[in-house]
Amino acid sequence: MTELPPAIRLQSVSRHYIMGESVIRAVNDVSLMVPTGEFLALLGSSGSGKSTLLNLIAGLDRPSSGSVIANGQDLSKMSSLELARYRRQTVGMVFQSFNLLPRMTLEENVELPLRLAEVDRSERAARVREALLRVGLEKRIGHRPSELSGGEQQRTAIARALVNRPKILLADEPTGNLDSATGESILTLLREIQKNPGMTIVMVTHERTLAERFADRLAVMGDGKLLSNGAAR
């Protein structure tokens, strides 16, 4: 059986910010490889650089040095238009504060990435329904985010992230705004999603216990550096 290429490979990645006369090294010379199909948890205290690293993998930010290779593409060499296409087609993102558009229904929120990807209108309804069915919210399709609980909103955000059938799911503190029971249900859902062949998940969290229970591997960051990297269980 041939080994799949890694979904993500970071090579000496650094991201520096210049604040006045001082240089903030948010990510400092990090090298990391995430095999295809793995559920990686990025752990670390606040300001450790884990969210910055996730943004680099998402193509929302560019490294100051080093290279980010995702799905075989070197993001540091991409134009902004290519990065936008990468975000549409290759990755799906879930945020701590859900980031659903409040004036849109669940259906419209989930449909948004399909609009951006210029998916044919006739296909969209089925794709949205399929994504909402996957997160168990198909009956709330016409509701607005404000009519849902936090857990349901996060499930909707996951449906939105999955609707374009990405290869990599990036989650930034997905349980941060949820109570522990709901958080656990969200991670259970992510774990189920990961069972899809080829789906790689990178999750930023500071909840080590949950990460150990659900992730395949833990990477711990501190002061922009990768402190440890090993199997969760």
Partner 1 sequence: MKFRDLSDLAFRNLREAVLRNSLTTLGVAVGVASLVAMLSLGVGLQQLATSRLAKSGLFDSIFVTPKTNLRGPGSGPPATRAPAPKARPLDADARAEISRMPNVIEVYPQIRFFTEVRYDGKPFATMVAGMPESSKASGAFDGMQGSFFSSPNADEAILQAEFAKELNPQTASLIGKDLVLRYAERQSLPGQGGDPGENSGGFSVVPKEKHLRIIGVVETEPASGFGGFGSGRLLIPLPLAETLRAAQVNDLRDILRDSSSDKPTYSSLTVRVKSPSLVEATEAKLKDLGFSAFSLLDASKSLRIFFSVFDLLLGIFGSLALAVATLGIINTLVMAILERRREIGVLKALGAADGDVKQLFFVEAGVMGLFGGMLGTLLGWLIGRSLTLGTNLYLHRQNLPGVDISSVPWWLVLGGIGFAVLVSLAAGLYPASRAARLDPVQALRYE
Site residues for partner 1 per CB under 8 A = 55, 58, 60-61, 80-81, 84-85, 87-89, 93, 95, 99, 101, 103-104, 112-113, 115-118, 160, 164
Q: Which is nearer to partner 1, 101 or 133 (CB)?
A: 101
**How many Cα atoms occupy the beta-carbon half-sphere of 105 within 13 Å?**
12
CB of 117 to partner 1, least distance (A): 6
CB of 94 to partner 1, least distance (A): 10
CB of 52 to partner 1, least distance (A): 8
Residue with token string 């500071």? 206
CB of 63 to partner 1, least distance (A): 13
Q: Which is nearer to partner 1, 151 or 166 (CB)?
A: 166
The answer to whether 54 and 170 are in contact (CB under 8 A) is yes
Q: Which is nearer to partner 1, 77 or 115 (CB)?
A: 115
Q: Which is nearer to partner 1, 38 or 61 (CB)?
A: 61
How many Cβ atoms sit within 10 Å of the Cβ of residue 230? 8
| DSSP alpha helix (H) spans, the chain | 50-58, 80-89, 106-116, 121-134, 150-162, 180-194, 208-214
Burial of 226 (0-12, 13-18, 19+ CB in 10 A): buried
